[in-house]
Amino acid sequence: MKFKLTAQDKLSKARAGEITTDHGVIQTPIFMPVGTAGTVKAVHQRELKNDIEAQIILGNTYHLYLRPGLETLEKAGGLHKFNGWDKPILTDSGGYQVYSLSQARKIKEEGVTFRSHIDGSKHLFTPEAAMDIQRVIGADIIMAFDECTPYPCDYGYARRSIEMTHRWLKRCCDRFDSTEPKYGYSQTLFPIVQGSVYKDLRERSAEVIASFGREGNAIGGLSVGEPAEEMYAMTEIVCNILPQDKPRYLMGVGTPVNILENIALGIDMFDCVMPTRNARHGLLFTKNGILNMRNEKWKNDFTPIDEDSDLWVDREHTKAYLRHLITSGEMLGAQIASLHNLHFYLWLVNEARQHIINGDFYSWKNAMVTQLAQRL
């Protein structure tokens, strides 16, 4: 994997760049649609490519390990062949499930023992296993195995957690560097900075992660319930330490406002389930603000879903029709809303990129965040 910086904003730390992988080039800043179980919910791969113009999607190691399972994925030739996506893929390591499955797991130095949410069966994820599983899945970018601490989290726990995460990272790197990719293309390992909302822990973790000298770095453990101001403060601290010449990935973030503010702090890559999850509940993001399609006010509104959009479903369907689909529980409602939200997120990061290149990102961002947060 290679990363090239192409532009830097003068009034913020926002930057535009290009990540080159064996499955294609990714222009940054970028938003990555989340395809947890090998699919971005309610969206076909052709729509991801042609309508949304996604450049990279995510898969989830924990979910893919349980279903369809490693044997099936390896027989298929990896996730790209299995789901028919020929552009880059990133997989998380299962570390987030360590956080989210708090009632069904035990964390030890060896790794994490957990019970499947599907059938209750018992499994062990170690740093080595996380590398081996992601080799089988075959993502272009794979994540180190870490612990994502909850919020709030006391200082002592957060300190012990980052120390273990750093020890786990050494084991991840040793295993990754002693194994080869399975399907004839290269894979890249990103470490993850942790440290909850403690400045000194974030600094320490960022310094340790940077010292490993991998091709890219990630920031985890944010957007887990802390105030947005805390997220921005921690992101700024970490971006000041992580190397300038490598991509920075802020995991699990976030709202359109979160994304723009973090681009301004120097983040290059984002992912979040919010555009698709909110879509299924009838919440649409637009550049003028947020629409709740369940509201009565849209019942007889026969204007296009989004008049400013160049996406065909936004022009061809009305707000009244989409509200009918959503309130009726029709699958087409989730499909249209998901397409809209993902298209908007990709439009937003591409606009940010163009304004960074044009030299007016900071003023554009400040105007946009006011609009984006409005409820329409």
Nearest CA among 79, 13, 89, 8 for reference residue 48: 89
Rounded Cα gap, residues 93 and 7, in angstroms:
31
* Angstrom distance (rounded) from CA 341 to CA 274: 9
194 is in an annotated binding site: yes
> What does the block give as tokens for 309?
């959009």
Q: 314 labelled as ligand-binding?
A: no
Question: Which residues lie closer than 8 Å to 75 by C-beta, 6 or more apart?
Answer: none
Is position 92 annotated as part of the catalytic site?
yes
Is residue 275 within 8 Å of 42, Cβ to Cβ?
A: no
Choose the catalytic residue: 140, 271, 306, 314.
271
| Residue appearing with tokens 């989340």 | 34
Q: Are 239 and 13 in contact (CB under 8 A)?
A: yes
The number of beta carbons lying within 10 Å of the beta carbon of residue 116 is 15
Burial 52-88 (b: 16+ CB within 10 A, else e): bebbbbbbbbbbbbbebeeeebbeeebbbebbebebb
User: Annotation-wise, does 93 bind a ligand?
Assistant: yes
111 in a known ligand binding site: no
Among the listed residues 92, 140, 306, 314, the single catalytic one is: 92
The answer to whether 22 is a known ligand-binding residue is: no
DSSP element (H, E) containing 8: strand 2-8
**Taken in order 274, 82, 141, 194, is the CA torsion positive or negative?**
positive
Q: Which of 368, 304, 371 is nearest to 14 (CA)?
A: 368
Q: Is residue 94 a known part of a binding site?
A: yes
Q: Which of 373, 351, 226 is nearest to 286 (CA)?
A: 373
**Is residue 350 packed enough to be buried (19+ CB in 10 Å), middle (13-18) or exposed (0-12)?**
middle
What's the chain's Rg over C-alpha atoms? Answer: 20
Binding residues: 92-96, 146, 194, 221
**Residues designated as active site:** 92, 271
User: Which residues make up each annotated binding site for substrate?
Assistant: 92-96, 146, 194, 221
